[in-house]
Amino acid sequence: MNFIEYLRKIFTSKNEPGENGNQVPVNLIPKVMTSLEHTEIEEYTCDQVYELLDQFTELVHRQEDAARLMPLVQHHLDMCGDCREEFEALLRILQSQNS
Protein backbone atom coordinates (compact mmCIF):
# COMPACT_ATOMS: atom_id res chain seq x y z
CA MET A 1 0.00 0.00 0.00
CA ASN A 2 1.49 3.37 -1.01
CA PHE A 3 1.15 6.59 0.97
CA ILE A 4 -1.84 7.88 -1.00
CA GLU A 5 -3.72 4.60 -0.57
CA TYR A 6 -2.92 4.66 3.14
CA LEU A 7 -4.32 8.18 3.48
CA ARG A 8 -7.43 7.25 1.51
CA LYS A 9 -7.97 4.38 3.92
CA ILE A 10 -7.59 6.68 6.93
CA PHE A 11 -9.86 9.40 5.57
CA THR A 12 -12.55 7.05 4.30
CA SER A 13 -12.72 4.99 7.50
CA LYS A 14 -14.96 6.04 10.36
CA ASN A 15 -13.61 9.33 11.66
CA GLU A 16 -12.89 9.20 15.38
CA PRO A 17 -13.00 12.48 17.26
CA GLY A 18 -9.60 14.03 17.89
CA GLU A 19 -8.33 15.02 21.30
CA ASN A 20 -10.35 18.23 21.19
CA GLY A 21 -13.48 16.44 19.99
CA ASN A 22 -13.22 17.67 16.38
CA GLN A 23 -13.52 15.40 13.37
CA VAL A 24 -12.08 15.93 9.91
CA PRO A 25 -14.84 17.72 7.94
CA VAL A 26 -16.06 15.32 5.26
CA ASN A 27 -16.02 18.03 2.56
CA LEU A 28 -12.32 18.67 3.27
CA ILE A 29 -11.22 15.12 2.51
CA PRO A 30 -11.37 15.31 -1.32
CA LYS A 31 -9.46 18.60 -1.32
CA VAL A 32 -6.73 17.17 0.92
CA MET A 33 -6.48 14.03 -1.20
CA THR A 34 -6.26 16.00 -4.45
CA SER A 35 -3.56 18.23 -2.99
CA LEU A 36 -1.56 15.25 -1.82
CA GLU A 37 -1.90 13.46 -5.14
CA HIS A 38 -0.55 16.51 -6.98
CA THR A 39 2.30 17.24 -4.59
CA GLU A 40 5.65 17.50 -6.33
CA ILE A 41 9.14 16.91 -4.96
CA GLU A 42 9.98 20.57 -5.45
CA GLU A 43 7.32 23.21 -4.94
CA TYR A 44 7.20 26.95 -4.36
CA THR A 45 5.61 28.55 -1.33
CA CYS A 46 3.09 31.35 -1.66
CA ASP A 47 5.84 33.86 -0.79
CA GLN A 48 8.11 32.52 -3.53
CA VAL A 49 5.30 32.64 -6.08
CA TYR A 50 4.34 36.14 -5.00
CA GLU A 51 7.89 37.31 -5.75
CA LEU A 52 7.67 35.86 -9.28
CA LEU A 53 4.02 36.57 -10.02
CA ASP A 54 4.61 39.80 -11.92
CA GLN A 55 7.08 38.08 -14.26
CA PHE A 56 4.75 35.13 -14.78
CA THR A 57 1.79 37.41 -15.46
CA GLU A 58 3.79 39.42 -18.00
CA LEU A 59 4.66 36.19 -19.85
CA VAL A 60 1.01 35.14 -19.94
CA HIS A 61 -0.02 38.61 -21.06
CA ARG A 62 2.51 38.49 -23.92
CA GLN A 63 1.09 35.06 -24.83
CA GLU A 64 4.37 33.31 -24.13
CA ASP A 65 4.45 29.78 -22.73
CA ALA A 66 4.62 30.78 -19.06
CA ALA A 67 3.83 27.25 -17.86
CA ARG A 68 6.87 25.89 -19.69
CA LEU A 69 9.14 28.75 -18.69
CA MET A 70 8.05 28.82 -15.03
CA PRO A 71 6.55 25.39 -14.30
CA LEU A 72 6.80 25.64 -10.51
CA VAL A 73 4.82 28.87 -10.53
CA GLN A 74 2.20 27.31 -12.80
CA HIS A 75 1.93 24.25 -10.58
CA HIS A 76 1.47 26.42 -7.49
CA LEU A 77 -1.23 28.49 -9.20
CA ASP A 78 -3.01 25.28 -10.17
CA MET A 79 -3.06 24.22 -6.52
CA CYS A 80 -3.47 27.50 -4.60
CA GLY A 81 -6.68 29.46 -5.01
CA ASP A 82 -5.39 32.54 -3.20
CA CYS A 83 -2.34 32.91 -5.42
CA ARG A 84 -4.47 32.13 -8.47
CA GLU A 85 -6.77 35.03 -7.55
CA GLU A 86 -3.75 37.36 -7.28
CA PHE A 87 -2.54 36.23 -10.69
CA GLU A 88 -5.95 36.74 -12.28
CA ALA A 89 -6.22 40.22 -10.76
CA LEU A 90 -2.79 41.20 -12.11
CA LEU A 91 -3.67 39.82 -15.52
CA ARG A 92 -6.93 41.81 -15.59
CA ILE A 93 -4.98 44.98 -14.79
CA LEU A 94 -2.55 44.36 -17.66
CA GLN A 95 -5.39 43.56 -20.05
CA SER A 96 -7.31 46.70 -19.08
CA GLN A 97 -4.24 48.84 -19.77
CA ASN A 98 -4.20 47.60 -23.37
CA SER A 99 -7.90 48.30 -23.93
Q: Residue ranges per domain, the chain?
A: 25-99
The more confidently predicted of residues 31 and 58 is 58
User: Does residue 89 surpass a pLDDT of 50?
Assistant: yes
Alpha-carbon distance 44 to 29, whole Å?
23
| Nearest by Cα to 9 from 39, 29, 38 | 29
Q: What is the pTM of this model?
A: 0.63
Cα distance between the two ends of the chain: 54
SS (H, E, C) the chain: CCHHHHHHHHHHCCCCCCCCCCCCCHHHHHHHHHHHHCCCCCCCCHHHHHHHHHHHHHHHHCCCCHHHHCHHHHHHHHHCHHHHHHHHHHHHHHHHHCC
Question: pLDDT for 9-54, tens place per residue?
Answer: 666 655 555 544 456 666 777 777 777 666 667 788 999 999 999 9
